A and B are shown apart, each in its own frame.
Chain A
């Protein structure tokens, strides 16, 4: 899993931005979402990302794993991430 060809990520104080340069759409990311993108860029799969970030973020409601998987699913649906060849 990697960012799609025309998607750029930039770290910001508030988290980060994803810029889909073909559609010229910008997605604003909070720190958790930005952390997910960093993991995606390192080549981790969804399960690895969820496992790693559960330990990094405070998760009193126990929902972070589901949220991360939902985010990854939406990123895939929007064409923002794909396989390494994509």
Chain B
């Protein structure tokens, strides 16, 4: 999360940051829109940071007309990068139409999926449309761990989906959530991701929010397990240097939120009903795309980070980490 590199230029230095560390106040629009296009999901994962699952679509999810109005504004504001997640984004009724629109307008798009709909045909279509990457959640290196964690999920189908991406030459990213019963497989999972042709492997501490609140007692890794996970990841990052990027956050949620109070991310989180959150790990909503323009919400976003209720919430989190279980009770700023 720190400044990692610099490039010289004609009048000084050109630092490299990430959307999360770019000083958003200086920018005329977000650099990244992370859109949870639906809360509906074919799986009911124990660790889901949303409250997603079968039959869990919000009753007020955006209509087709509203979806394309939001996309039009994103393009008009020259937002260079979007992701579609969920729920499971590939069950959204207009999924491919949305992908086609974004890619045809020159923005780069990442799909975050559980991989169960990555048929050869769908992968070929994603390749033709020009998605930047497909990130697949692979929380385990065996059917035993994966299927236990991803209720209704199928490890073999997910791996087959990743192979289909590989065959279609779609850039692949893997996401892995450590829990008490899959933490020991992290190294094998990194190796598997590399064999499947992934260019990036993402992981970090599993969050106490969404569906995970109900299962936390059985789910959460011990600190000793996390220590072993991160030690393995350091080793794997060195092993795959130049082949696959092994990217992980050792920082706990509280440290990250404290950092972001002073360095708001250059990204907007859009919920399936068009509400816009400050950040996934806070309950605060700074706009509603059904009623406000993206430009107006971007202005609200800058101001909302300064609202004392935001820092108060982070302080409350320091006193009681269980406060994250309230993240889905939205607070309008």
Contacts and interface: CB of A to CB of B under 8 A. Distances in A.
Secondary structure of the A contact surface, majority rule:
mixed
How many of chain A's residues touch chain B, expressed as a range?
20 to 34
Interface residues of B, number: 35
A35 B28 CA distance: 18
Given A13-B28, A25-B4, A33 B10 contact: yes
A25 B9 contact: no
Contact of B16 (A14, A26, A57): A26
Contacts of B11: 30, 32-33, 67
A71 B108 CA distance: 25
A25 B17 contact: yes
A2 B307 CA distance: 42
B9 A22 contact: no
Contacts of A10: 29, 31, 78, 80
Interface in A1-46: 6, 8, 10-14, 17, 19, 21-30, 32-33, 36
Interface string B13-24: 011111101100
Contacts of B310: none
B145 to A, nearest CB: 28
Given A21-B132, A30-B12, A8 B17 contact: no
Interface in B266-313: 266
Contact of B10 (A19, A28, A71): A71
Given A8-B81, A12-B28, A13-B28, A25 B16 contact: yes
Contacts of B245: 23
Interface of B: 4-5, 7-12, 14-19, 21-22, 26-29, 31-32, 78, 80-81, 107-108, 110, 132-133, 171, 199-200, 245, 266
Q: Closest 7 CB pairs between A and B?
A: A8-B80, A32-B10, A67-B10, A33-B9, A74-B7, A21-B108, A25-B16
Interface of A: 6, 8, 10-14, 17, 19, 21-30, 32-33, 36, 57, 63-64, 67-68, 70-71, 74-75, 78
